Structure 1
Amino acid sequence: MTKIEDVKLIEIPKVKDSRGNLAIIEKDSLPYPIKRVYYLYDVPSDAFRGGHSHIAQHEFLIPLSGSFDVIIDDATNKKTVTLNKPDKGLHIVPGIWRELENFSSGSVCLVLASDVFLESDYIRDYQDFKLSKSR
């Protein structure tokens, strides 16, 4: 059973240069193959995203621009992680409820997912999530 301690901040390798930095994500950067890439942008500061858990899918969230908070929850403990550096991402393992909020103006959240979109992999009701963790 996954716990919030299984969620990890991962530093993204970068090349520093006076002309601008270059961050690199390659085949072995993450503990899973990337099958889907999507991003969130123009999210109003008072809106929230997420509000679900995945049964099998891993996700890696990167703040390409600006900042936002990720609230992670394993049905026993909650923790808020602020993402605000494009060279650090949050690897969210399956079985963790997540909510994203407090988006700064112009923020962009890139997500690298381990699978294509499958509605059957989502748990969208928090009570169902808590029940799934008690089994």
Structure 2
Amino acid sequence: MSLIKWIDFQTLGDERGSLVSIEQGKVVPFEIKRVYYIYRTAEGVSRGYHAHRNLQQVAICLVGKCRMVLDDGVTREDVWLDCATKGILIEGGMWREMHDFSEQCVLLVLASAPYDEADYIRNYEEFLAITRQSRIATSLQC
């Protein structure tokens, strides 16, 4: 099963241009509590390198492109975000990295909660240990 969960946004428009409307509870599967965007990322700089314990996010590349790496502690997949009408759902417990930002890249992120440093896992080895413990606990319940 793929870690990549795409969300397609409906495009509206006519000869004047296009419009994408994003509404929580319709296409975004959570209440949006925070919105931020990443831009002017210098060439060769990568971002992310963390997981969230509970936070859910949708990442949408509005302009340009970047490569997103998702890792659940067992599987690691990467995908290009390069379309303003498609987002990627990132659930809690998922390590993420962003690489290869194009010069004009603008990456929009919708989040299910306000910023909370306690929700971050910033060390990859700690992330692997937590996911290992979670898998063991789940297998013992069955």
TM interval, shorter chain, is over 0.9
Q: What residue number does 2:96 align with? A: 98
Among 14, 17, 20, the residue aligned to 1:17: 14
Q: How does 1:1-135 map to 2 (within 5 A)?
A: 5-28=2-25, 29-135=27-133
CA shift for structure 1 position 44: 1.3
**Which one-letter code corresponds to 1:99 in the other structure?**
E
TM-score (norm 2): 0.89
Distance in 1 (alpha carbons) for counterparts of 2:67 and 2:98: 6
1:89-127: CA deviations, max 9, x gaps?
A: 011000110000100011100000000000000000000
**Is the contact between residue 35 and residue 113 of structure 1 (CA under 8 Å) also seen in structure 2?**
yes
* Matching residue's letter, 2:19: L
Equivalent pair of 1:34/1:112 in contact (CA under 8 Å): yes
**TM-score, normalising length: structure 1:** 0.94
User: Any conservation in 1 of the 2:4–2:77 contact (CA below 8 Å)?
Assistant: no
Q: How many percent identity over aligned positions?
A: 37
Residue-pair matches, total: 132
Unaligned 5+ segments in structure 1 are none
Aligned-CA RMSD value: 1.1
Unmatched runs of 5 consecutive residues or more in structure 2: 134-142
CA distance, structure 1, for counterparts of residue 24 and residue 121 of structure 2? 28
Report the Cα offset of residue 6 of structure 1.
Answer: 4.8
